[in-house]
Amino acid sequence: MDFQDVEKCCCVVTLREDFSAQELVSFSGILIHSRTGTVICTGLPFFRFIIGDKTICASQRRVLLRHNFRAKLKIAVHFASSSHIEANGCGVDKRCQPGESHGKLEHEAELLMLVNCMEFQKTLRALFCQAEGWRFHGDMDDDLVRDAGYLSWFAVLKAGGPHPVAAAVSWRGSSSLRKGSPVVACGSPFGSLCADLFNGTVSRGVVSNLAGEDNAVILTDARCLPGTEGGGLFAAEDERLHLIGVIVSPFGWKANEWIGLTLVCSIRSILGDLARSGEIRGTVRDLGLRPVEVAVTPKADAGRYPTVCLVDSGRQWGSGILVTSDLILTCRHVVDGESTVRLRVHRADRVLDGVGDVLFSTKAQSPYDVAVVRSRESILDDGGPRMAHAFRIGERVLVSGYGGLGRRCGPSLTGGVLSKAVAVHGRAVMLQTTCAVQAGTSGGAVLRASTGELLGMVSSNAKDQSTEATYPHLNFCVPMSILRDPLLRFKQSGDVTAAFDVLDGAEEKVRRVWRLQDTQSKL
């Protein structure tokens, strides 16, 4: 599949009773088999129209059929078409109305079933602890959306034709995905509102984290908007796209912090539960729910990424960068004045726990939020990461740290660009990136995407003091050009205070660059 095929497979699903404008619900869907008109989408909105107790149905059932929903429920599916846009697009003299049909690409659809993806549900409940304040975007009240029992439901529809594509969607399992793998999200921002303009909108990103059997849960930093739930996430392999998941929630919050990541369920997990439900409805096997799976051999990383670890001081926790076999750079506010911290490193096949001694922390009045920790046991087998000597504004970068799901699933990766380098006397003293960072990313690594070179260390992100909102895509980082010389002096002299106290003595111009340090959020 290419981008044009992906756009054609994307559709808008609308739900209402007797096609009344009252209680209209709209969201995205994916046409996975054109011959049969089979569409898969999120199941959460259908619970508005269910007969009986929503909680009991969601928690105690694995399949829901059409008779479980109100008789007057009407479903429509709207497909994208570039020629259709040219002929009927919204102009300044004509407003698009929610659910408005523009031509022959909107069809009535039949609800075949809702299926509960059990592995996705189990993994969500294990990872997204309500005590941590996790919430996801949905069209129902917060109490229901918080419960993973509703987020794990997916609908199978049969849409009337003709359809814009002539073959089954190519898909691949997510077990071979790796953090940092390039992906493309496709959906319809705002659902049916001006669907002829927005349907089939794509966004690029990377896989940020993975969890569950065969990676049933996928987090990506591809930026999505309300209405894209039910859309598709596609693996991008040499500009060929293969469906890997269905978007569950374009937004997520943890303890009222916007995490800037999109929650996705693996398509393999969904199809597996649909196949197991086939005996309930014999026609499922004839609906094209088993398109040919594309086998993909994972590619090696473009560069070796530096190792990051979890640093936990008891009251605070964050990330750290291994710069030698046992030396870790992190933030002062992460070690929180403690003399020892707990360390955790996630390797491919195991998790290593240890203890670190805090050798140095900058003073509270220092513009640089930096600490140095030494592990009591060697962690790396080599000499540490390659450090960058120069920065290029606009270059692609990654951030590796323990934000988001990192504490449970290992470090997350998010991508963006180096948006700014603030210099004093021609030397960069602050870096800014557009990577999505969250609480737990402090002390994480900023990497050059093409080579894996270490550019800097994440310190904090931006916070709006009037609304208390944090902005994950604007963050502030200490350049390695500032930390390289102290590290070298420490290696030569062994005196950590003499090597790093230069950070406390930064001149007033540097302090002014970091003047928001006390008011912007700490990660």
Positions marked catalytic: 333, 369, 442
Q: How far apart are CA 44 and CA 139, in angstroms?
A: 8
Q: How far apart are CA 17 and CA 303, in angstroms?
A: 54
Main-chain phi, psi angles of 503, to 5 degrees: -65, -30
| Three-state SS at 333 | helix
CA-nearest of 423, 374, 432 to 399 is 432
**C-alpha dist (Å) from residue 409 to 278, 353, 360, 442, 476:** 33, 14, 29, 17, 25
Find all residues with CB under 8 Å of 205, minimum gap 6, and list them. Answer: 182, 183, 184, 185, 220, 221, 222, 223, 262, 415
- Distance between start and end Cα atoms, the chain: 39
Find all residues with CB under 8 Å of 402, minimum gap 6, and list them. Answer: 308, 310, 317, 318, 319, 411, 412, 440, 441, 444
Q: What is the dihedral of CA 331, 356, 448, 517, to 10 degrees?
A: 0
- Count CA atoms closer than 13 A to 73's CA, side-chain side: 22
| Three-state SS at 349 | coil
Per residue, the 3-state secondary structure of 243-290, as one string, reads EEEEEEECCEEECCEECCCEEEEEHHHHHHHHHHCCCCCHHHHHCCCC
Task: Give the DSSP letter of residue 48.
Answer: G
Tell me the sheet residues that pair with 158: 38, 110
Per residue, the 3-state secondary structure of 423-459, as one string, reads EECCEEEEEEECCCCCCCCCCCEEEECCCCCEEEEEE
Tell me the two tokens of residue 157. 């529809």
Per residue, the 3-state secondary structure of 105-124, as one string, reads CEEEEEEEEEEECHHHHHHH
